[in-house]
Structure 1
Amino acid sequence: MLELRPNCECCNRDLPPESPDAMICTFECTFCADCVEHALGGVCPNCGGNFSPRPIRPAAALARHPAGTRRVFNPDGCQMQEASA
């Protein structure tokens, strides 16, 4: 089951479970769509993989299986796209 992390690892923007702007890689690294497009160029700075929209867990399932609360914030990783340009 996905952890549904609560924020963008790059800009620390809140990404609630119902957010259509949350993007994840295969390791569940979580970023907002703006950072994925503009800062990261579609490449995860942690694993080098690509991103997909994070699925939205239905409210009934969310009540039984709540979203994660652990925030991961690593703005230094957001420099990867700029450094390789």
Structure 2
Amino acid sequence: MKSTCERCSASLGLTDRAFICSFENTFCPQCAEQLEHRCPSCQAELVQRPARTRSPTEVPDQGFKAKLEKLLV
């Protein structure tokens, strides 16, 4: 998930409202409205991006990690 609007460079946090197209071009709500919910790059519809509560780079809980390592060994 991109952390800035591709049009105005506004910061977009993981839980902030944002809009994306099928290619994941990302826009803040204000820019999406000004663009009439159409991506300027591909002309696809801009839809609300799903919210994420944590970054995918965060380490999963240790129980999960131990199970995964056991499977991979």
Runs of at least 5 residues in structure 1 that lack an aligned partner in the other structure? 67-85
| Structure 1 stretches of 4+ moved >2 Å | none
- Matched with 1:5 is 2
Once the two structures are aligned, what percentage of the paired residues are identical? 37
State the distance in 2 between where 1:36 and 1:58 align.
22
State the distance in 2 between where 1:58 and 1:32 align.
18
Larger Rg: 2
After TM superposition, the score normalised by the length of structure 2 is 0.71
1:32 to 24, 28, 31: 28
- Matched with 1:51 is 46
**What is the deviation of 1:58?**
2.7
**What is the deviation of 1:8?**
0.4
Residues 1:23 and 2:52 aligned together: no
Helix, strand or coil for the counterpart of 1:57? coil
One-letter amino acid of the counterpart of residue 37, structure 1: E
After TM superposition, the score normalised by the length of structure 1 is 0.62
CA RMSD of aligned residues (A): 1.1
Helix, strand or coil for the counterpart of 2:30? helix
- Matched with 1:77 is none
Runs of at least 5 residues in structure 2 that lack an aligned partner in the other structure? 58-73
